[in-house]
Amino acid sequence: MNSNEIKKLDKEKIVSTYGRYDLVAESGKGACCTSADGKKYIDFTAGIGVNSLGFCDDGWVEAVTAQLKKLQHVSNLFYTEPQVKVADMLTSRTGLKKVFFGNSGAEANEAAIKTARKYGTVNKGENVNKIITLNNSFHGRTMATITATGQEHYHKFFTPFVGGFDYCDANDSAQLEKLADENTCAIMMEMIQGEGGVLNLEEDFVKAAERICREKDILFIVDEVQTGIGRSGKLFAHEHFGVKPDIVTFAKGIGGGLPIGGAIFSEKCCDVLKPGDHGTTYGGNPVACAGAVEVLTRMDDAFLREVEAKGEYITFVDSDDEVEMSTYKKLFDILNVHPDYDILEYPVYEHYGNLKRQHKLTFGIDKEYTDFSSYWLHGKAYEHTYAWNKIYRKSLFNGVRYPANKKFEDAHTLPLILQKANIIATTSVGLYYYYDNPKGITRNANGKDISDLLEAHMKVMPKVCDADYYAKVLNIALTAHECTGKYPDFPKMPYNKGIKPKLNKIIGFKTLCLINKYLHKIYRRDR
């Protein structure tokens, strides 16, 4: 079948629980996925955190194929070598005692929930069955795990829920202490809230949760379905916090692409579940376990150090743009030589709607800037507020967030981040392809959008130069250009005191870019 036939049949025959992207995946190798029409893509999702060794890794394929030729499946009523190998590797590396195998993260969390409730009932009484999870959390889509999930929009339509869950605000130790009463059997949390926005828990809060569990004989459950198996630079993310959970749940990346999940139990609760209490037909399948053995073998100290190093940087690619396959390798080659660079800026090729016009945005080539002002004045000033032509040290974003419900969010944020950098470097290496989309936001900005952009100019830009001076220059620039549409809110903007512009019209996006250039020229000339 061709791509169109596949997509048509999919819409007709498969329940639409996922909003599909317009890509029919046919093959893959490493980080690259190839579509049915032969186009290559970098899979930044890693199969939603599953392909821990990439597509069709040679060692993984060999391990899985060898097992497939021997035994594809056998009931869990019998023993298999791959299953006990994985269990031994997990318990040895975590210091925990025993493993339950399922097929997914939701199944793993179901096992943890059932274990906690049986533990509370057997050891403390029939009503000791409450589990505390965190607001903004995500633990799965089964009825129990979706109830454990602390996000209301996941709860719509599916009542009545499984009872016995309370929700605590992340990083609120006092609230957690209050909620953990005599009916609580477990506290369950992710170290990094993935579905909740990739938000790290604070170390003090995590350690407080562990302390509360120890003091009140409550099980401490850590959901590592998304954060485990090397995603954070450690085998499991809780290792960064120096805590010892009673139960660690896992899935996704451990199978390298095959369905496998489970829970690792401490000595305190490893024998709570008995035959008949819980089970799974496919859990611990020998082929999936053979893949898991290869994954865990490969995730040695050197592998995890490389992951941790990559996690020190962040970059952006807009959904309608492209990068060269080699772009980030080239940039990391530079950063390995210059680990002191906080930001590395690189050239961009700009394409227009018909793809016939193309020019290279240079930004200045192979230079280092140790102060913000000298960097800000090089090249084209308005291009500094583009997020996508740079790679950043991740720590620069600490305490900085993009504004909610505003367009042109880069202009609100980037100057603040740039100012925090000790060294900003520009290079001729690295290729990014920006597509000037006729249907994009920038070409179809409305009055509210332009208001957001001008607000960024008025609120953020004065923080990188004198506020009164900037307001005067902005007034000059605006009045120097033809305008279309109304803009009644401009006189109310901050840093506009004493300057009463007679503007009642709004400018288009192209003019805004010109204004930025104009501002830059004036600033350089007058300074």
pLDDT in tens, 100-129: 999 999 999 999 999 999 999 999 999 999
How much is the pLDDT for 463? Answer: 60
* Distance from the Cα of residue 227 to its chain's centroid: 11
Residue 349: pLDDT band by 50, 70, 90 thresholds? confident
Convert the pLDDT of each residue in 414-427 to its tens digit.
Answer: 878 888 899 999 88
Residue 42 has pLDDT above 90, yes or no: no
In the prediction, which pLDDT does 191 show? 97
Residue 230 has pLDDT above 90, yes or no: yes
Comparing 445 with 170, the larger pLDDT belongs to 170
pLDDT band at 445 (very low <50, low <70, confident <90, very high): low
- pLDDT for residue 406: 79
pLDDT value for 144: 96
Which amino acid is present at 431?
L
What pLDDT does 510 receive? Answer: 44
pLDDT band at 222, cuts 50/70/90?
very high
Residues 211-221: what's their mean pLDDT?
98
91 in Cβ contact with 99 (< 8 Å): yes
What is the model's pLDDT at position 412? 77
Residue 367: the pLDDT is 84
Whether pLDDT at 489 is above 70: no
Own/partner pairs, 490-495, CB within 8 angstroms, 24+ separation: 490/454, 493/454, 493/455, 493/458, 493/459, 494/458, 494/459, 495/458, 495/459, 495/462, 495/467, 495/468, 495/470, 495/471
At 151, the pLDDT band (50, 70, 90 cuts) reads: very high
> Is the Cα dihedral 80, 86, 92, 94 positive or negative?
negative
Q: In this predicted structure, which of 18-32, 261-275, 308-322 has the lowest mean pLDDT?
A: 308-322
CB 362, CB 379: distance < 8 Å:
yes
Percent of the chain past pLDDT 90, that is, above it, reads: 55
**Three-class DSSP category at 148:** helix
Does residue 508 have a pLDDT over 90?
A: no
Q: Is the pLDDT reported for residue 29 higher than 60?
A: yes
Domains, the chain, ordered by start: 3-44 (no CATH), 58-300 (3.40.640.10), 312-435 (3.90.550.10), 447-526 (no CATH)
pLDDT of res. 461: 59
Q: What is the pLDDT of residue 320?
A: 82
Q: What is the DSSP letter of 150?
A: B
Residue 286 has pLDDT above 70, yes or no: yes
* Cα–Cα distance, 413 to 97 (Å, whole number): 47
**Which pLDDT value is given to residue 278?**
95
In sequence order, the β-bridge partners of residue 369 are 424
- Is 70 exceeded by the pLDDT of residue 153? yes
Higher pLDDT among residues 351 and 140, named by residue = 140
SS3 breakdown of the chain: % helix, strand, coil, rounded to 5? Answer: 40, 15, 45
How far is it, in rounded angstroms, from Cα 318 to Cα 389?
A: 10
pLDDT per residue as tens digits for the range 363-372: 556 788 887 7
Confidence of residue 481 (pLDDT cuts 50, 70, 90): very low
The mean per-residue pLDDT over the stretch 186-213 comes to 95
Residue 482 has pLDDT above 60, yes or no: no
Q: How confident is the model at residue 276 (pLDDT cuts 50, 70, 90)?
A: very high
For residue 486, what pLDDT band results from cuts at 50, 70 and 90? very low
> For residues 150 and 183, is the Cβ–Cβ distance under 8 A?
no
Q: What is the pLDDT of residue 280?
A: 94
| Residue 88 pLDDT exceeds 60 | yes
Cα separation of 224 and 108, whole Å? Answer: 10
How much is the mean pLDDT over the chain? 83
Q: Say if residue 483's pLDDT is above 60.
A: no
